[in-house]
Amino acid sequence: MKAIVVGLGVQGQKRRKFAGSDYVVSVDPINKEAEYRSVENVPLFSYDTALVCIPDEPKVEVLTYLLKNGKHVLVEKPLWASDDQQIEKLEQLAHDKGVVCYTAYNHRFEPHYVRMRDLVASGELGTIYRCRMFYGNGTARLARESGWRDQGAGVLPDLGSHMLDTAKFWFGDLGEDFHVVSADCFENRAPDHVVLASQTTIPKLEFEMTLLSWRNHFTCDVFAER
């Protein structure tokens, strides 16, 4: 399956490397290493799938083009849109064209995440009361020096999306009743430390995320009946 990389930044270069012999060309409006400046200029016959590593705002437009043309898509998280209908349209497009459109939440494939999912599903823990997660890395400076990362909701879509996906993977549908407990801009223009919580989900959830850790660090406490 021949693949193109759309967005040749840090993540795009990683995707290009691991695509190996399946890699064809890359697309980036700025990076001179890329062979094309726009995905529409890449000959459709030359690839089957696209690895999309671009900022959030143009994702829906780029994915719509790719799916309409029958291309499989792996898109970096988060896949965000201003309303749910845009996401539903992408889902319908993928279904109609018989292709896969997957958001790259890689954590749920890690063995200990899978074991936790299976443990919860087994009922061995009994009633699960509360889950508290912390996820941090030290990318505040990288975000600050980026042309596009230090804006908007900052760390919330970056790391918070992983935490939401993990909770959904373990506990099922979470609903939408979440609130921001705190959002601080300690070193960056956009929030670099956020606490998000829900008191109505089952279990109750609390997520703390930061770009200010000295290393990548993830912890999780699950409080349950047994």
Of 217, 218, 190, 220, which Cα lies nearest the Cα of 206? 220
Q: Give me the domains of the chain, ranges plus CATH numbers.
A: 3-104 (3.40.50.720), 107-224 (3.30.360.10)
pLDDT in tens, 105-114: 999 999 999 9
Is residue 147's pLDDT more than 80?
no
89 Cβ neighbours under 8 A, 6+ residues apart? 64
Q: What is the pLDDT of residue 28?
A: 97
The answer to whether residues 197 and 133 touch, using CB atoms and an 8 Å cutoff, is no
Q: What is the pLDDT of residue 34?
A: 97
pLDDT in tens, 162-190: 999 999 999 999 988 999 999 999 999 99
